Structure 1
C-alpha cells in the first residue's frame, strides 16, 4: 500500500510523509517517531503529529515469508521498496529497524537520526 487517501492525516495536507513497513514493530517505531516530531515541532506538524502522514509500503521481505532470508538474498529485502519510495519523492523520510538496514546504503540516502533503545 502506498500513501493515498486511506492514510491521509487530519490536516488538509500532510507536512511530512513517513514511509514504513506494516509490521507491528515498524508501525510502533513510526508512531513513536511521529510523536517525537510533534513534541519537538508542534507548530509545524501539529501537537498530535497529525501533519505526519504514515505511509505503509510492502517490501520484498514482507512478501516472501515462505522462504528463509538466506535463500532469497537477505540484503535490503526489508528496505529496498522504502528506498525507492524515498528516492522517487513518494515519501519524505523512512523509518527502519537497524536490523533491516544493509551495511551499504543506496546513493543519495543517509542515516540521519536514531531513536534511543
Structure 2
C-alpha cells in the first residue's frame, strides 16, 4: 500500500481510496466533502441526514464512486467534535483509516 498525503481538489484526485476526515455535529459539510457532495448530487448530505455517518471518533463509511469522480472510493472518517480535536485523536483517526483501507485491499 502506498500512502500519500496531498492537498488538492478531491473531485479530480485519482486514487483507489480518498480519505476525508469530518467533524461530528457540524451544521455544514467540510470544504472538501462539500465539493464532492456537489459533484455527487448530494450523496454525502444524504449520508449525514440519515445518520448513517455522524462524524463520531473513528467512525467510517466507505462509498464507491463508480466513475463519478477520479477516486474509486471515498472513505469518510469521523474525528469527533471540533472542540475535542487533539493530535492523539487525529492519529487515531488516521490509524482507523489505514486499517480500513487495508481491509479493502487498496493499492
TM range, normalised to the smaller chain? 0.3 to 0.5
The two structures have a TM-score, normalised by structure 2, of 0.33
User: What's the TM-score, normalizing by structure 1?
Assistant: 0.31
Q: Which has the larger radius of gyration?
A: 1
